[in-house]
Structure 1
């Protein structure tokens, strides 16, 4: 889906629906766990899904923003 969105070749409505459901699920999971028990992997997944969602919407700035957060979280998680 990310490849299709970034290339502008189109994404199916059902795929967008599933993406938005997953995005809401991770958002809620992260926000519900804040501030006592935040899972960095869940935040990373949330940011990656948000980046893909932004690509689908044609928002390259938003996609870059969320992907940068995903990369930063991944870098920290791997000890890099």
Structure 2
């Protein structure tokens, strides 16, 4: 990890990404297929509380992201 790397978490797994990276880049570093699913709209990103997060959200140290199916988010919103 270089001085310009930021440690974040995706689905409870830590990853270091360059400063200025997006949430999608953090997902792609660990789970390339999930990143493709987010771009295709099959999957969504949430923060640690389950709130929707944009794929282009800049990461910050210690940020927690979760990948969920698009359907899970729709079901949660209607509950």
TM-score by length of 1: 0.28
Structure whose alpha-carbon radius of gyration is higher: 1
Structure with the largest fraction of strand: 2
Structure with the largest fraction of helix: 1
